[in-house]
Amino acid sequence: MNFHAALRVTCRIWLALLLVSVAHAQEGHPMSGVWVGDWGLDGAQQKRVVVVLDWMGTKLSGTINPGPNAIPIKTATVDTADWTLHLEADAQNSNGQPVSYVIDGKLDDLGTYNRSLAGSWNVGAEHGTFSITRQ
Amino acid sequence: MFAGKLKRLIPALGMALVLCTSITTVSAHHVPEAKFDPDKPMQLRGSVSKIDWLNPHVHLFVEVEAGGTTTSWAVELENTLELRRNGWTSSTLKSGDVITVQGMAARDNSRQVWGESVIVESTGQRVFTVSPAVPPVYANGPTPRWPDGHPRLGAPAGQGGGYWDFPSKSSLMEDGVEVVMDSSGLLANIEDADNVAPFQPWALDLYKYRQQNFLRDDPMFTGCKTQAGPRIFQRPYGVRLLEEIDHNRIRNFWGDGNQNWRTIFLDGREQTGRPEGNSEDPLYWGHAVGSWVGDTLVIDTIGFNDSFWFSNGGLPNTPQLHLIERFSRPDLATLHYEVTIDDPSAYTRTWTSSWDMVWVPDAELPVYYCQDNRP
């Protein structure tokens, strides 16, 4: 098994552990939890994404794609008037250059166990959409 | 070697309604208004084709003829326990009986109606009426006590049965606050929401959302999730505090829900609760340790998960929830319950709510199985 294959397996293990650890429905802060879904550039093939969000008492924190290539969320704010979410995160592109993600979404089906978040993201001149569901 | 270990690990990782009480009917499940519209009264006449005697609501299936066609309707009634308590059984009606039903129509315009009145045409008898349970009447007396002087939280010596019921409040609200709620914790006026407790903004918005949707997402009804925390003491069908003196612990049972219990340890062990649970800290109920302070039993509980609603009415709670409960029994008939809520992730400060319950002597806890709930 080469390094990249091992990395993929490690990521799967991380994801499995995360999903097992939060297999129960959560009724606390509506944004807390593990969210899984797809994201991608407008019109392009969508990719899998995992977002972990935690309500820390007075603010949200979280990680995108936890694992060896995790992207920590720098800023996370919720407007509970309409349950919209704004995220900002810094990462590196495929060339190793720093890039900043700006993500905006809206919560749907607030009261249900498997509620969903959908919206748009921007990184530089690129735009895309995402849709994730809480596990 | 790394790859080999990973390969060995992979197989191991392969695991991975229309309810509650209404103002007029004391019941144990979803608020009827969550599914039915009080502004859409309706009447139908037809013959009974089937009676579905299941929780959370009994259903009558009725064939209704109109304009030369026959349509099937479902009439939703109270739960089996509430109907039995009022003398009704699954054989109260037979297939073929013609009935007239008055009630409210489903919000989604499906052929369902909440049955407020069911009258049998052949006899004129009104059936499936439900009256609220009333507290028992008996001569009150002094606080029963154990030989060591502590109040007994169950039956007096020599008596086996009994439980606590008829809470004087139906939902958590901070002491000193006066807002009107029905027996399921629904506010009469949504504008009162921010007076109920010192909510963080997100918690207030979630509380309002749950209220405005008639508590339809309550996990106790949608998934037979247990009640936990102070909600145990505000549900219909009572609670029992079984004092196991030889083991320095109390088992807390309740008549509503999924027939679980929590254990309160009085043996001096340390507070070790954590939301993920452990052998003495089952999920949902946290780790409860307590001691007597004079005539008051003080219980400290942490380690709750957030997979349940800790109150009728949908007040939010998080895994940071820390409860301090105080039980006292000023006389035979009264249990005074006080709970201090410390959940800094949902509330801006600690706050306290209290109410009384009534001793129901010589009786076993009623049993309402939510496990019977129709999927």
Q: Is the pLDDT of residue B337 over 90?
A: yes
- Helices (runs of H) and strands (runs of E) counted in chain B: 6, 15
Contact (Cβ atoms closer than 8 angstroms) between residue B322 and residue B301: yes
CA closest to B220 among chain A residues: A27
More confident residue, B10 or B343: B343
Q: Is the pLDDT of residue B216 over 80?
A: yes
The closest CB to that of A111, out of B2, B210, B319, belongs to: B210
Dump pLDDT digits (tens) for B186-197.
999 999 999 999
Residue B1: its pLDDT value, please?
Answer: 42
Mutation target vs B (from A21, A27, A34; most B CBs, 10 A cutoff): A27
Any B CB within 8 A of A79 CB: no
Task: State how far the alpha carbon of B5 is from the alpha carbons of A4, A6, B202, in Å.
Answer: 15, 10, 45
Shortest Cα distance from B349 to chain A (angstroms)?
Answer: 12
All residues of chain A having their beta carbon less than 8 Å from the beta carbon of residue B283 are 24
**Per-domain residue ranges of chain A:** 3-134
Q: Is the pLDDT of residue A48 over 60?
A: yes
Between A and B, how many CB-CB pairs are < 8 A?
86
Which token pair is A78? 């919720």
Using CB atoms and an 8 Å cut-off, which of residues 251-280 of chain B contact chain A? 276
Q: Do B209 and A111 touch (CB under 8 A)?
A: yes
Q: Where are the extended beta strands (E) located within chain B? A: 36-52, 59-66, 69-76, 98-106, 112-120, 126-127, 162-165, 239-244, 249-254, 261-265, 287-293, 296-302, 322-331, 334-342, 351-361
Dump pLDDT digits (tens) for A71-93.
999 999 999 999 999 999 999 88
- Helices (runs of H) and strands (runs of E) counted in chain A: 1, 8
Residue A133 banded pLDDT, cuts 50, 70, 90: very high
Which token pair is A67? 């694992």
Q: Is the pLDDT of residue B173 over 50?
A: yes
Residue B27: its pLDDT value, please?
Answer: 39
Q: Is the pLDDT of residue B26 over 70?
A: no
- Max CA-CA distance within chain B? 83
> Rounded CA gap, B252 and B244, in Å?
11
Contact (Cβ atoms closer than 8 angstroms) between residue B152 and residue B144: yes
CATH of A3-134, one of 2.60.40, 2.40.128, 3.40.50, 1.20.1260: 2.40.128
Residue B55: its pLDDT value, please?
Answer: 84
> Rounded CA gap, A121 and A98, in Å?
16
Residue B224: its pLDDT value, please?
Answer: 84
User: What domains does chain B contain, in order, with CATH numbers?
Assistant: 32-127 (2.40.50.140), 162-372 (no CATH)
Least confident of A27-31, B147-151, B369-373: B369-373
Residue A25 banded pLDDT, cuts 50, 70, 90: low
Q: What single-letter DSSP state applies at residue B278?
A: B
Using CB atoms and an 8 Å cut-off, which of residues 6-45 of chain B contact chain A? 6-7, 9-10, 13, 15-16
Residue A12: its pLDDT value, please?
Answer: 54
Please list the residues that pair with B357 across neighbouring strands: B335
Using a cut of 0.90, tell me whether the model's pTM lies above it: no
Dump pLDDT digits (tens) for B233-290.
999 899 999 999 999 999 999 998 888 899 999 999 999 888 777 777 777 999 999 9
Q: How many CB atoms lie within 10 A of CB A114?
A: 11
